[in-house]
Structure 1
Amino acid sequence: MATIFVIALAASFWLFATLLAEQLSRSYLEDVLLSGRAHAEEIAKTAEGGESVYQVVEQRRESLDKLSDALARQQVVESVQVYDRLGKLVYQTVTNIDGLTGGFAEQATDLMLPTAREKVVETKNEYQIRTPLSDIGTVVVRIPKEALGTRIDDLRRRLLLRAGVAGGVTIAVLMGAVGFIWHLVQRNAELEQRRRFNDELAALGTLAANLAHEIRNPLNALSINLELLEEELADRPAPPEATRLARREISRLARLVNDFLVYARPTPPSLEAVELGPLFEEVADLMRNECERAGIELRLAKLETTAWADRGQLFQVLVNLAQNACQAVSQSPRKVVTLAASADDSSVVLDVTDTGSGIARSDIHRAREAFFSRRKGGTGLGLAIADRIVASHGGTLTLSNQPDGGLRARIVLPRTRAKDV
């Protein structure tokens, strides 16, 4: 559609320029003929006051040469001729490559002048502008069609070139304006979508807070009562399996409520320079007991550098990714989870890798969606929360399967404060 619009606009400019060139060409032709006639009349007026053409030309020769020179500078007049009353050529000036030449004509070059007087006569090759010289002769200004056509063609080319440049600039400005307006429309639509999304999040956050308040307290009460029940039944040879199952399900529900609350009501990051070495140590300390119980080797490849981030939120992201990695290798013969970091001048890269089975290719693009989980008992919010936190820091979170097996979760954060955060 835009291409058709540009072609139509360019065609309109070209048509307008062509019509304008034709009109100006006609106007230029008329101007040249009128100017030639005016100069011919001025020559005739200059030559008045004599009884014969020869006498007048001899007395006014300097003035005739000046007027002839003025006509020659128009670059279209070929000659100025003066005929006597009998139609014989008496005097002429001719414009050529050597300049303005001429003088009294030789008898052998006498020409017969047609009887038509005081008008423009068009022949095959030229225009003849004829003006009577009192009653003693006629002044003829000759304008060749070839020179006039060359002059008009040159003016037409320059006009079309300038019109083309002006049209191109106009189209470019117009397209720039259309592009800018389109950008504003898209930006406005994006802002409106973001506003609706924020409104929905606010409503969802309010609902989540109310649900968390209504659900968390009964869950806590149930958990406490189950602990008391387990203590009372501790002396029995085989404590009831039902209490353990109930406590596990209550813990899962509590975790789901907490994750949902964090996802529904995100907190803007409070950015600071975070040392990654100590942060990795804290994550390892938190995960160490869980890894030891499951027989998982937790490796740290620390890098003593800093990232511009909210320390608490980045800690939460790393813990979520590390827990996912530990769960992914729980059934793997080789159980290794690695936390590594690297950096360049502009960004810091954090990698959490495991030796599990990875994610199916059909599911990897959905893994960060809220409530999507292939793991039994998973809330489907861990990666969604991590992705949102990383995005709020001006960074990216990508998931990819490793060639030798396992999954790599890569976080890329700016090394300095992000402008859009």
Structure 2
Amino acid sequence: MTDVLIVGAGPAGLSAAISCAERGLKVTVVDEFMKPGGRLLGQLHQEPNGTWWNGIEESAKLQNKAVSLGVDIKLGISVYDIKQSAYGWIVYTSSGVQEVPALLLATGAAETAAPIPGWTLPGVMSIGAAQVMTNVHRVRVGMRGIIVGINVLSIAIARELQLAGIDIAAMVLPAKNILNKDAGDPQKVMQSMLRLGHLAPSPILRLGSGLMRYSPLQTWGLRLYPKHGFKIWGIPIQLRKAALAIEGEEKVESVQLAELTPDGEIVAHSKRSVPVDFVCMAGSLYPLAELAAVAGCPFRFIPELGGHVPLHNAQMQTPLNGLFVAGNITGIESAKVAAAQGTVAGISIAAFHKASGTDVELQRAVEHVRAMREQALIQFHPQVAEGRRHIETMYADA
């Protein structure tokens, strides 16, 4: 019999498993993927101090520590139903049914695409799929491609694809439609891009992005934005161009681009086709929270956290007895924040099991999450700290 079942072997789930096991609990982790690590597996980037963050290595460290503490990690297993019981939780999986007193959902996030005509052709994939294919499976997704969608996620992964020897012809906006209103708006995309100015490889670009944070300059900045965009790591970032359609008979052959006005309207007679053999669609991320819904957990809509999230407090507790959440299911943030949340959840679960000495540890762990958030190199949503305060206040008032 296990003391806690953790669904999700990403940074949050593995960190929680370690935290629980260190406090004497028997822990089982299940994940539907064939390797532990979750989104860590695809991550590869350079930190400001020059060191490289290798997600595969970080995942291996967490896995090895968890296994050394006796954590049972079961892979290739899906969870499809959850029911509350007098004992705790009945969890239905593809390998059988298990009843546990405590359950942690660390299911992470999923991608939303920015659809345009032709996006179902072979050779079109989400930006996250390209990351996994390249960094995890070591499979080149193509020789020359275009990324449709300019945001935090796509810029980071564009660099990873480039490091694998893949030519990124351009990063462009999707054409505006009912689903792509913000993603296809040059001014809104520019505002989100300015938050990434500190990552620019050139001091001139960093200075320019700092000056452009002043709203009166942003309109002028868009009007004067170079026709072929600015280049970061040699990749053209084209805020004034949009992908209208992906073209090809049986697979991707080209992308039809058009120039945009500062307001995001298509410039007449500016359409042209650019030959490529793959396209990455880069939308946004949202909390993968279906299992929490199945469990009957109440939700709140918090845009700053990425959408609908399970109601929870800073200790990663939900209003349902014995049900905990951690990681991107609670809001879209970095892997480092997710891991810190996992540690909090593990201590909370230990306290749920009446482990001694958890009060001070829990407070320190909660403060560590906040510190990691403040130090984060990239914020997916600029008001994430405000979103966290909102959800914690809602939990207290529930």
Larger Rg: 1
Higher strand residue share? 2
TM-score bucket (shorter structure): under 0.3
| TM-score computed with the length of structure 2 as normaliser | 0.18
Higher helix residue share? 1
| TM-score computed with the length of structure 1 as normaliser | 0.18
